[in-house]
């Protein structure tokens, strides 16, 4: 009994000492009347199907009526490629260039003659600017195959940017079709045909070609591969781009970063938005605005699927945050999971006129190292009107209360008091148990002796 009592008392003593060095956390709910008047929104998000030229980052008020002007903003938009490949150049053996060029020329002439007999030269050279212009417009692929190079302006009647670009396009057509361009290593002279395609009248063609923004300028090779013009629209810039593309048409990638691909999905770029905005600490929504560039987007072809690499809220005094925050170290492990619960999650849509919307409940958390923010979230796919361009939106609402986290550490005198009280109580209980055991043993011996007598 004595050895057992000592063992239990030693165990309890070590448990009390261990708890003395552990720091617990007590949370208290307070009315949120203090704190900064500004809120910092940190984000690192990939939109896989929206080009950076057509995207902006906005914060809009709770009712969606007015943009909130940030007190400070610092973010970068970077193009991301779907294939992730580096530029690869096709190398041809100079000894066989002439023979291959002669073979290609014969094959091209044979195909050219066959298409002209089947469709007619006038039909193959015509614009696709209207479905009621007297032409049949039977095969878009025949038009591409008939011309060695075809620069195409995909447009829509309702597109304001297209109407502004129309006079410039007319001048560009004259300049391009009057020029003899030089191709690749063979230095052969060729011409480029310029046509327009109305994506309202020929909607099916534009959908098959993956045209999701207007105006879109592409240069097609006769084999069906194409490159997309993605710079500022001016006559000189587009003309120089066409000339460079024709010269480097034998390469899969060229020095200007344009790519010749057969599938529009391989060619499309996405956009990474990384940085922060500092806005008034009021409810609103963060919007990755698709259509904020120099093109009008086709609503049915716009896809705002996205991957959230990082999303968090913080106090502006803490600076830029994308990794570990010193203020988070003051929180218990279960609370830290609510600092950035959407990190490294993918949200994809699988139908037209759909977009993910995220609804966030944000609460200020007061720690010994300063203020930080936790949030809960609910995400859903929203169905949109056919005329509305989908957007990636994050609605955030600020709770009127704050959570105060206080470290709950035991004092040394609490350790001494509790240790003495517990060990003393164990000792007394052990003495009582020992006395009771002896008393029971003595009574049992007395009964045994009486029976023997």
pTM: 0.66
Task: Give the other-Cβ count within 10 Å of 78's Cβ.
Answer: 12
pLDDT at 255: 45
Residue with tokens 């940190």: 42
Q: Is the peptide bond before 64 cis (omega within 30 degrees of 0)?
A: no
149: which 2 tokens?
Answer: 């190079």
Q: How far apart are CA 338 and CA 355, in angstroms?
A: 24
Phi, psi values for residue 196, rounded to 5°: -110, 150
Parts of the chain with a pLDDT under 70: 20-25, 34-35, 82-105, 184-186, 250-268, 320-335, 407-410, 441-453
Inter-CA distances, 303 with 57, 206, 292, Å: 16, 16, 15
pLDDT at 376: 92
Question: By the 8 A CB rule, do 60 and 284 touch?
Answer: yes
pLDDT at 152: 96
Rg (CA), the chain: 37
Question: By the 8 A CB rule, do 291 and 103 touch?
Answer: no
Domains and CATH numbers, the chain: 2-22+411-452 (no CATH), 25-81+275-408 (no CATH), 94-266 (3.40.30.10)
Question: By the 8 A CB rule, do 206 and 214 touch?
Answer: no
Point out which residues pair with 396 in neighbouring strands: 284, 360
SS3 125: helix
Helix-strand-coil split of the chain, %, nearest 5: 35, 35, 30
Q: How far apart are CA 433 and CA 308, in angstroms?
A: 64
> How many degrees, rounded to 5, is the angle at CA 191 between CA 190 and CA 192?
130
Residue with tokens 């327009």: 196
Phi, psi values for residue 397, rounded to 5°: -125, 130
Residue with tokens 């979230």: 377
pLDDT at 257: 46
pLDDT at 55: 87
SS3 149: strand
Residue with tokens 């529009």: 264
Question: By the 8 A CB rule, do 191 and 177 touch?
Answer: yes
């Amino acid at each position: 009994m004595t050895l057992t009592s000592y063992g239990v008392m030693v165990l309890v003593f070590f448990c009390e000492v261990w708890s003395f060095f552990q720091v617990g956390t007590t949370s208290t709910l307070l009315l949120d009347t203090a704190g900064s008047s500004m809120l910092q929104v940190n984000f690192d998000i990939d939109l896989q199907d929206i080009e950076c030229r057509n995207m902006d980052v906005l914060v809009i008020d709770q009712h969606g009526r007015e943009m909130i002007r940030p007190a400070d903003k610092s973010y970068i938009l970077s193009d991301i490629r779907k294939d992730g490949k580096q530029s690869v150049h096709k190398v041809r053996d100079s000894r066989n260039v002439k023979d291959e060029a002669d073979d290609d020329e014969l094959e091209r002439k044979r195909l050219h003659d066959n298409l002209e007999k089947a469709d007619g030269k006038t039909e193959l050279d015509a614009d696709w600017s209207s479905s009621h212009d007297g032409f049949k417009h039977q095969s878009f692929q025949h038009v591409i195959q008939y011309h060695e190079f075809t620069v195409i302006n995909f447009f829509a009647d309702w597109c304001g940017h297209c109407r502004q670009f129309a006079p410039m396009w007319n001048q560009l057509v004259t300049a391009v079709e009057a020029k003899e361009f030089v191709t690749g290593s063979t230095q052969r002279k060729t011409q480029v045909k310029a046509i327009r395609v109305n994506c309202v009248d020929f909607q099916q063609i534009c959908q098959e070609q993956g045209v999701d923004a207007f105006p879109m300028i592409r240069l097609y090779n006769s084999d069906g591969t194409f490159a997309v013009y993605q710079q500022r629209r001016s006559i000189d810039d587009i003309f120089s781009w066409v000339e460079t593309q024709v010269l480097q048409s034998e390469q899969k990638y060229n020095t200007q970063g344009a790519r010749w691909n057969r599938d529009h999905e391989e060619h499309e770029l996405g956009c990474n938005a990384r940085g922060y905005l500092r806005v008034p600490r009021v409810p609103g929504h963060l919007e990755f605005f698709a259509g904020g560039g120099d093109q009008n987007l086709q609503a049915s072809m716009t896809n705002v699927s996205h991957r959230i690499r990082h999303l968090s809220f913080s106090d502006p005094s803490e600076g830029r945050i994308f990794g570990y925050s010193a203020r988070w170290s003051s929180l218990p492990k279960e609370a830290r999971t609510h600092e950035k619960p959407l990190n490294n999650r993918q949200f994809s849509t699988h139908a037209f006129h759909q977009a993910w919307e995220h609804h966030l409940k944000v609460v200020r958390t007061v720690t010994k190292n300063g203020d930080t923010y936790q949030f809960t979230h609910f995400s859903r796919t929203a169905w949109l009107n056919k005329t509305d361009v989908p957007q990636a939106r994050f609605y955030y609402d600020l709770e009127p209360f704050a959570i105060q986290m206080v470290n709950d550490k035991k004092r040394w005198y609490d350790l001494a008091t509790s240790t003495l009280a517990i060990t003393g109580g164990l000792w007394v209980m052990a003495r009582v148990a020992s006395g009771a055991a002896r008393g029971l043993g003595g009574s049992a011996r007395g009964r045994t002796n009486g029976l023997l007598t």
